[in-house]
Chain A
Amino acid sequence: MQSSRKLWCVALLGAVTMMGAGTASAQEVKVWTLTFANDSANKAWQKIVSDYEAANPGTTIRVENRGVDEHKSALRVAAGSDQGPDIYFMWAGLGLGGEFVKAGLSLPLDKYHQQYGWGDRFLPSAAAFADLYEGGKHGVPFTFKGEAIYYNKKLFEQAGITAEPTTYDELVAAADKLKAAGIPAITFGGTVNWHLMRLMDVLLETKCGAEKHDALMSMKADWTKEPCAADSFTELGKWTNQYVLSPFMGIDQAQSFNLFVANRAAMMLEGDWLVQQLSESANLDDFGMFPFPTNTNRLYGFAEYHYISTKSSNPDAAAKFLDYFTSTPVQQATLGLFSTTSVNKHVKYENLRPLDAKWVDIFNKYSAVYMNGDQAFPLDVTTEYFRVINEVASGSIDAATAASQMQSFIAKRG
């Protein structure tokens, strides 16, 4: 009886020890990201996870995918509890990403940048966003998107434009030639505020230069005291009044794209993702592309990042997974699935389509970036920025009033 009781005790102790050991070694990393419209991206995620789990026994990566709005809402709800993710997807910049960083939900990753040598891994243009925040480096690049002017070669030829514009004046001259030939120079969709915003962003960069543009977007400069702000609004009014395919305030970006491929407008200001879209809807050889000529030697674009949550109980495991995710072999294997190009600068590109090859050249050429207004501004200022841009575009207010309304809103934020 005595020995039987001892045996039970030993067995129980052993079981408890094994369970304890199991708990100590088993790690779960929760990743919250988007449901990608491109199914091959979702499949790529699954493969990365299964490969990582196979190489790291005891670690489970649990990925939860949601639509954009559901993702934002889920993160907001999780912020108030301890049930959030270890890693979450978010755009980089002071807007959406910055909101979560400011709320203390992003762990500074300086330690891991050093530990894994990430400084030598990423394209400078993609990595630059991690340094935007106070208190250290936040987030790891997931994708980087550049934006440039795509143009219809036949319509350019029809208007007598023989070379891609390299200065803003040349671009305006090209727009004038197109207008004279009866061709709307460029197309935008006004219902989605961010589309027309791109035009204002590039005009601010052109008219203000890099330093002043950054100061305006970071709300350190006064929009009424920098004449370039009003000048940019004047240019915006000029473009929307004379060169943009009209009417545009009642159509969205998708409709604008349809009109572009239907040869209804000569240019479109879009991201590197448009190459794939164009290849599915038209003959790629009919289109060319050049960065918007701002003369500041900075590329227009935005980045998507993965952040590690301050509430993560496994930040080391999360960082290790992100290191694997962004490593050269994984990025090489998934090239083109998440984005046209990789954020990893060591990835090799072969058999690229001409427009993709041009994008790779552009990404390698530019080391500085200016980002989209809705990524640069806090959310409330973005909403006002959209409103003022639309007011100017619809001719309801003049440039000086627009600059004044922007500054007034910023000043009242306190």
Chain B
Amino acid sequence: MVASPSTADRYDRTPAQTRRVKARLQDPAVQGLVLIAPAVLVYALFAFYPMLDVIQLSFMKWNGLTAAKQWVGLDNYRYVLGDDPVFWVAFRNTLIWTALSVIFPPLIGLGLALGLNQNIPGRSPLRALFYMPVIIAPIAVATMWRWMFDPFFGLFNSLLTTAGWTNLIQDWLGDRSVALYSVFIGYVWEVAGFSMVLFLAGLQGVSQTLIEAARIDGAGRFQVFRYVTLPALRPTITIVLILSLINSLKAFDIVYGMTGGGPAQSTQMLAMWAYTQAMQLGDFGRGSAISVVLLLMTVVIVVPYLRWTLRRQEA
């Protein structure tokens, strides 16, 4: 039997031992580990463990009410991928939404940033104004846009009526062929300001000396933008696209608030369908299986893109 050292023994170190501990703490790698340890602990507890739990749940049948969880192997995946009438609609919608999200909000954000980076009157209030939708609660944004899309009294149909273009009047959120895109317009309004702020920050790092040198060399506005500003913005563009991609894959609140996934599940998204299965229908196994598919989609799309951009930046 080995006796544990007493408290006095533990603190009664020799000078050589104390020096060794101090020397170790001087090591930048050890300092780094000490500094990130709390964050790693929080991440492990609140992100990594739940993720593992969801993966485990995806192989089980559980209604969230009783303690009993039944191991069902791949049944949840088989159902979700083969028999669920909504999954592939949600999958397709998520892909469309993601493709649109990495194009339009970043483009509009870049345009706004370029405009608001100029020395124009009211620049600061305008920046705040365009950023405002980002800080409004998504459910409030959804309510506001739902009213504007109202087929009887909404802003858009009223404007079309006033302009005499009644043939263009739509049931914006009720017609399955336009509903997803109507919701997306609200989403663009909500998130474009976020891209704008990131691009504005990126533009501050573009060297004025390089721009002036290019102009002296006879470069026009577009050429300055193409050959000086855009390359300098590359790290920002990567960040904006990655964040847009991840946020779009998680799209939930604005769709939930505007259509609830309807009409006839035609605006359903994977994140919302996972929530519906687990929290509303009480099938945590299927909900988890959908979440795992979404996780895999995110990894498959984001990781190669990140590696590609990092390699380009290193080169």
Contact = CB atoms under 8 A, between A and B. Distances in A.
B273 to A, nearest CB: 10
Contacts of B280: 379, 383
Contacts of B179: 250
A380 B174 contact: no
Given A248-B174, A384-B85, A255 B152 contact: yes
B150 interface: yes
Contact of A191 (B83, B85, B259, B265): B259
A191 B151 CA distance: 12
Contacts of B151: 247, 250-251
B253 interface: no
Interface in B270-301: 276, 279-283
Given A247-B174, A250-B151, A251-B152, A383 B264 contact: no
A191 B174 contact: yes
A308 B67 CA distance: 20
Given A191-B174, A250-B172, A387 B65 contact: no
A103 interface: yes
Contacts of B83: 412
Interface residues of A, number: 34
A103 B264 CA distance: 29
B263 interface: yes
B263 A249 contact: yes
A390 B175 contact: no
Main secondary structure of the interface of A (DSSP, over half): helix
B86 interface: yes
Instruction: Among A249, A390, A394, find the residue whose CB has the most chain B CB atoms closer than 10 A.
Output: A249
A397 to B, nearest CB: 9
Instruction: Among B152, B176, B280, find the residue whose CB has the most chain A CB atoms closer than 10 A.
Output: B152
Interface in B186-228: none
B263 A104 contact: no
A247 B171 contact: yes
B281 A387 contact: no
B263 A394 contact: yes
Nearest to A405: B85
Contacts of B265: 387, 390
Nearest to A250: B174
Nearest to A249: B174
A85 interface: no
A383 B152 contact: no
A264 B283 CA distance: 41
Interface in A176-234: 190-193
Interface string A71-84: 00100100110000
A250 B183 CA distance: 12
A409 interface: yes
B174 A73 contact: no
Interface in A372-411: 379-380, 383-384, 387, 390-391, 393-394, 396, 405, 409
A104 B283 contact: no
Nearest to A79: B65
Given A99-B282, A250-B171, A76 B64 contact: yes
B63 interface: yes
A132 to B, nearest CB: 18
Interface string B77-95: 0010001011000000000
A192 B262 CA distance: 9
A105 interface: yes
A193 B173 CA distance: 14
In which size bucket is the chain B interface?
A: 20 to 34
Interface string B248-268: 000000000001101111000
Instruction: Among B63, B173, B262, B281, find the residue whose CB has the most chain A CB atoms closer than 10 A.
Output: B262
A100 interface: yes
Contacts of A380: 281, 283
A247 B63 contact: no
A394 B264 contact: yes
A259 interface: yes
B59 interface: no
Given A76-B282, A247-B175, A250-B172, A409 B65 contact: no
Contacts of A76: 64-65, 282
Contacts of B66: 79-80, 103-104
Nearest to B89: A387
A248 B152 CA distance: 10
A76 B62 CA distance: 12
Contacts of A255: 150, 152
B64 A79 contact: yes
B175 A103 contact: no
B281 A390 contact: no
B282 A390 contact: no
A412 B67 CA distance: 25
A100 B66 CA distance: 10
A251 B152 CA distance: 9
A191 B260 contact: yes
B130 interface: no
Nearest to B260: A191
A73 B65 contact: no
Contact of A99 (B65, B85, B276): B65
B158 to A, nearest CB: 15
Interface in B141-171: 149-152, 171
B64 A190 contact: no
B79 A80 contact: no
A340 B31 CA distance: 70
A255 B143 CA distance: 13
B161 to A, nearest CB: 14
Contact of B264 (A73, A80, A251, A390): A390
Nearest to B86: A387
Contacts of B85: 384, 387, 405, 409
Nearest to A381: B281
Given A99-B63, A251-B152, A255-B150, 5 more contacts: A99-B282, A247-B151, A379-B281, A383-B276, A412-B83
28 contacts: A79-B64, A79-B66, A80-B65, A99-B63, A103-B65, A105-B65, A190-B263, A193-B260, A247-B151, A247-B171, A248-B174, A250-B149, A250-B151, A250-B171, A251-B174, A379-B280, A380-B281, A383-B276, A387-B86, A387-B264, A387-B265, A390-B263, A390-B264, A390-B265, A394-B174, A394-B176, A396-B176, A412-B83
Of all A-B residue pairs in the complex, the 7 with the closest CB atoms, nearest first, are: A250-B174, A249-B174, A247-B171, A390-B264, A103-B65, A250-B173, A79-B65
Interface of B: 63-67, 79, 83, 85-86, 149-152, 171-176, 179, 259-260, 262-265, 276, 279-283
